Structure 1
Amino acid sequence: MLAVEDPATGQRITDVPDCGPAEVDKAVRAAAAASPAWRATDRRAALMSCAVVVEEAAPVLAPVLTEEQGKPLREAEAEFAGAAARFRYFAGVRPGSRVAGDGPVAALTPWNFPVQLAVAMLAPAFAAGNTVVLKPSPRTPLTTLHLGRMLAEVLPPGVLTVLTGQDPLGELLIAHPGIRQVAFTGSAETGKRMAATPEWRQLALELGGNDPAIVLPGTDPAAIAERLFWSAFANCGQIGVAVERIYAVGPVYDGVVEALAAVATEVVVGDGRTPGTQIGPVNNRPRHDRVTGLTDEARASGARIVTGGPLDGPGYFFAPAILAEAHDGMRVVTEEQFGPVLPVVRCSTVDEAVGLANATAPGLCGSVWGLDEEHAAEVAARLVCGTVRVNEHRADEPFAGSRWSASRAGLRA
């Protein structure tokens, strides 16, 4: 069995099945057997039924999501609402012949948005006529397992199976010869390893990011501080499309640092089940230790921790940290932190800021902030990212990545 942990306490919640080769083979065979009839079915009613299931599950399962992931309850509830809306959207999509289903899909999801990212794979796969074997992260398997059982009640047998477990479960699933397509959201390192597996037929990846935000001269830091802060620290900074580094140009630098720190000091960090909590714990001990290590390393290299850092007590709590005098030689800048720490880099010119923003391998999202939106848009056009916005960063979907942050390819059988 696989233990599920509460990040707010560090204590075990319960256990879920730790599946292995026999369970993988059974699930894939069931998905393959269900595939022809599912492709021939009018699936719109089934997707609408899935939307209803997600909505009705929210009052019961949102607290479970908060317990195993750590996010505040209101964010967990919003995740369910977004997932239901996604099922409804794809219920209205009529896929053309080029995207018709072609056998079972292996869907591997991360721990930061277990419900939202699972449905982001399930809804289009179902709409296209695919059956799915879904493997959630071993950090957050509980909500997905419960939801999967509820969805299976409104779907034909074999259309959806949820397998929980730790490594090498994912490798076993994607290497199974019955799997025709793979959808994965996670780190670039894992994505590279997956791309070396010759058995895959078709591959879609959403990999890590290290999103830059450029603040132009003349910007009023107080006017953008709240939006910029939450673009970095929502879900405790554990979002692939979060702002992870800021390049502040010229005299605006000190004001940006001060304004962000002012917001950070007022934010309520605590158990996601406690009313009023705005930021919950980091999801797991390895992530907490990584964020702490990157912060300590940056301080040793000359960065100044204006506010924030690890908190005492049980659980994996870390107050949002603003790092001043960060520079591109620090790993906290050049690597994805995926946690509640934000380095602010001082730049002399816009050209310098653009060059530094483009210097890392990921290319998920980026943003430019400034009073003159036309000029900001010109600067934004120079960023090498899949999605770039002006005076906002995390907005409504869709978004796309580039370079190491996204890939879609057909691989040899």
Structure 2
Amino acid sequence: MTTTTESAAGGPGTGAAARGTGAPGALAALTELSMTVGGAALAGAGGLEVIDPATAEAFATAPAADRDQLDTAMAAAQGAFDAWRRDDDARRAALLAAADVLAAALPTLATTLTAEQGKPLAEARAEIAGACLWLRYYAGVELRPEVVQDDSRGYARITRNPLGVVAAIAPWNFPVALGLWKVAPALRAGNTVVLKPSPDTPLTTLAVGELLRPVLPAGVFNVVSGPDPLGAWLAAHPLARRVSFTGATATGRKVLAASVDDLKRVSLELGGNDPAIVLPDADPARIAEGLFWGAFRNNGQFCLAVKRVYVHRRRHAELVEALAALAGAAVVGPGHVDGVQLGPLTNVRQFRRVTELVGDAVHHGATVAAGGGPLDRPGYFHEPTVLTGVEDGVRIVDEEQFGPALPIVVYDDVDDAVARANGTSFGLTASVWSSDLDHATAVAARLDCGQVCVNAHGAGLRPDLPFGGHRWSGLGVENGRWGLESFTEPQVLVTPARPAANPGTPPAAPGDEPPAGGSAPGETAP
């Protein structure tokens, strides 16, 4: 790999380290941002330092909302709800306009995202572009009524109605994309939103709020920021009728508990311990790159990243060698430096956790095939690390590391590999790697998770497919019509005969009417 970077000290397996400073000067315009409440700017009651993970130093201050300001935001969303829910065409147009505005601001938003989150600029740009894709997708999705009876005996129709105010809580690993995973379907369904970004990465989301003020009616989309306990207040707020949270499983439990007394509708997209199974007929040379980036994209800070690899003994040595070579060649450094492939970990908590888990694995007999520890430089940089000679029962195999460290576990029997892959409390995603598609597909069907891919990892991450986890990996799903419907509640209308069209109620689409003399379900548009 040809780069202009210099190598970090550390011996075999150490990724190349790009040298550079922290947040670039061009960022200054987006480091003094306000919250968006009721369509207007709102300064915080306090301040929140934002750390550049490439330097471990504060480079900006974000507003921190107090409880009264949160109440103001929730009241603004409640006040905007009735008018917003009634105009379907306006909602479609607004989502398209929002996508255009964010796309036009993509370079500046990406620079801000890299500075606060650490990911390389190319990945930051891709995240903003993905958020625009989600907005455009939902602008085109319909919530048509479902006619289940229309005959001489009567008429019955099901409509999907918005819930009201949605409390959305986004994580720090993909703050814009995962925030808009919630916002786009919630707004499309006719709800209004109060969005809270992670205190680690508030700036880009605040900038999105500022950019969308002229696009969305006042109060429809509100952004508040601040440290804990702001998230707990939001989840428990009496005006919130739906809570959508993405983050750690432990925090998700607290969000669920905070929502119970008021019987709010809740979706939780939580952690994972996502396995990859490499079958004995797989070719390590062909699959290594896809497997590597399935694990190390965004420095492993990805809910559905490969967290552990089960490889047949026949392919173990070849695969470890190939993955170690990729880890050793990966360019590590500040995300705004050209050529960087892996930035720093986003915060000191993750930096310490990954360091601790790698050390624990080595203590329990793991062999370091590549990397092995932090880089000796400012910021939260850790070498991309490949570990072998490790088994189930060691923390880095049993827990979600959420960082650039990948354990490789040997197996001899495919049934055993499947049992180990399923032997966890999590169930988010998985992958199976093989040259025999039929065999791989049969193995994939046995894995207990929300999404499984063959010869790829995370390939089903699309706006038109549901995404959600089993067991401790979450409740409910996001994306597609399934995610859209989760921001609604069904209402059944039963009358003696077909009613005249009601204002605000779309007419039944062709094909919804049942055959003459009977009743039949209609279809909901994808």
Q: Fold match, TM over 0.5?
A: yes
Q: 1:284 aligns with which of 340, 347, 357?
A: 347
Amino acid at match of 1:7: P
Structural mapping, 1:74-93, within 5 Å: 74-93=122-141
Could you tell me which residue of structure 2 aligns to residue 181 of structure 1?
242
The answer (yes or no) to whether the contact 1:175–1:200 under 8 Å persists in 2 is no
Q: 2:438 aligns with which of 368, 374, 377?
A: 374
Could you tell me which residue of structure 1 aligns to residue 403 of structure 2?
339
In structure 2, how many angstroms separate the alpha carbons of the residues matched to 1:74 and 1:408? Answer: 31
* SS of 2:307 mapped into structure 1: strand
Structure 1 window deviating more from structure 2 (64-73 vs 79-88): it is 79-88
Could you tell me which residue of structure 2 aligns to residue 34 of structure 1?
80
Could you tell me which residue of structure 1 aligns to residue 301 of structure 2?
238
Amino acid at match of 1:315: G
Q: CA deviation at 1:200?
A: 4.4
Amino acid at match of 2:458: R
In structure 2, how many angstroms separate the alpha carbons of the residues matched to 1:7 and 1:200? Answer: 38
In structure 1, how many angstroms separate the alpha carbons of the residues matched to 2:240 and 2:468? Answer: 25
In structure 1, how many angstroms separate the alpha carbons of the residues matched to 2:161 and 2:341? Answer: 42
Q: 1:64 aligns with which of 93, 109, 112?
A: 112
Q: 1:403 aligns with which of 433, 451, 471?
A: 471
The answer (yes or no) to whether the contact 1:174–1:200 under 8 Å persists in 2 is no
1:27-76 Cα distance to aligned partner (Å, 9 max, x none): 00010000000001221111111111110121111100000000000111
In structure 1, how many angstroms separate the alpha carbons of the residues matched to 2:329 and 2:179? Answer: 33
1:225-266 Cα distance to aligned partner (Å, 9 max, x none): 000000000000000011000001121111111110011111
Structure 1 window deviating more from structure 2 (238-247 vs 253-262): it is 253-262
Q: Is 1:215 the equivalent of 2:281?
A: no
Instruction: Give the number of equivalent residue pairs.
Output: 410
Structural mapping, 1:77-226, within 5 Å: 77-96=125-144, 98-197=159-258, 198-226=261-289
In structure 2, how many angstroms separate the alpha carbons of the residues matched to 1:335 and 1:174? Answer: 27
Q: Is 1:391 the equivalent of 2:455?
A: yes
Q: Is 1:317 the equivalent of 2:369?
A: no
Q: 1:44 aligns with which of 76, 89, 92?
A: 92
Amino acid at match of 2:80: A
Could you tell me which residue of structure 2 aligns to residue 21 of structure 1?
67
Q: Give TM-score, length-normalised by structure 2.
A: 0.77
If you compute each CA radius of gyration, which structure gives the higher value, 1 or 2? 2
- The percentage of counterpart residues that share the same residue type is 52
Q: 1:305 aligns with which of 368, 379, 396?
A: 368
In structure 1, how many angstroms separate the alpha carbons of the residues matched to 2:256 and 2:144? Answer: 27
Stretches of structure 1 lacking an aligned partner (at least 5 in a row): none
The answer (yes or no) to whether the contact 1:152–1:161 under 8 Å persists in 2 is no
In structure 2, how many angstroms separate the alpha carbons of the residues matched to 1:366 and 1:205? Answer: 19
The answer (yes or no) to whether the contact 2:270–2:474 under 8 Å persists in 1 is yes
Q: CA deviation at 1:152?
A: 2.1
* SS of 2:321 mapped into structure 1: helix
Q: Give TM-score, length-normalised by structure 1.
A: 0.97
The answer (yes or no) to whether the contact 1:362–1:403 under 8 Å persists in 2 is yes
* SS of 1:172 mapped into structure 2: helix
* SS of 1:318 mapped into structure 2: coil
Amino acid at match of 1:403: R
Structure 1 window deviating more from structure 2 (389-398 vs 149-158): it is 389-398
Q: 1:73 aligns with which of 89, 103, 121?
A: 121
Higher relative CO (CA 8 A, sep ≥ 6), structure 1 or 2?
Answer: 2
Amino acid at match of 1:30: A
1:110-162 Cα distance to aligned partner (Å, 9 max, x none): 00001101111111001000100000000000110011111122111100111
1:177-211 Cα distance to aligned partner (Å, 9 max, x none): 01100000011111112222222410011111110
In structure 1, how many angstroms separate the alpha carbons of the residues matched to 2:263 and 2:243? Answer: 7
* SS of 2:243 mapped into structure 1: strand
The answer (yes or no) to whether the contact 2:355–2:374 under 8 Å persists in 1 is yes
Aligned-residue Cα RMSD (Å) equals 1.2
The answer (yes or no) to whether the contact 1:236–1:279 under 8 Å persists in 2 is yes
In structure 2, how many angstroms separate the alpha carbons of the residues matched to 1:275 and 1:408? Answer: 39
Could you tell me which residue of structure 2 aligns to residue 358 of structure 1?
422
Amino acid at match of 1:123: A
Q: CA deviation at 1:100?
A: 2.5
In structure 2, how many angstroms separate the alpha carbons of the residues matched to 1:99 and 1:281? Answer: 44
Give the structure with the higher percent helix.
1
1:256-289 Cα distance to aligned partner (Å, 9 max, x none): 1111001111110011000000010000111000
Structure 1 window deviating more from structure 2 (57-66 vs 291-300): it is 57-66
In structure 2, how many angstroms separate the alpha carbons of the residues matched to 1:356 and 1:99? Answer: 41
Structure 1 window deviating more from structure 2 (225-234 vs 211-220): it is 211-220
* SS of 2:407 mapped into structure 1: strand
In structure 2, how many angstroms separate the alpha carbons of the residues matched to 1:61 and 1:48? Answer: 18
Q: CA deviation at 1:220?
A: 1.2
The answer (yes or no) to whether the contact 1:95–1:127 under 8 Å persists in 2 is no
The answer (yes or no) to whether the contact 1:250–1:349 under 8 Å persists in 2 is no
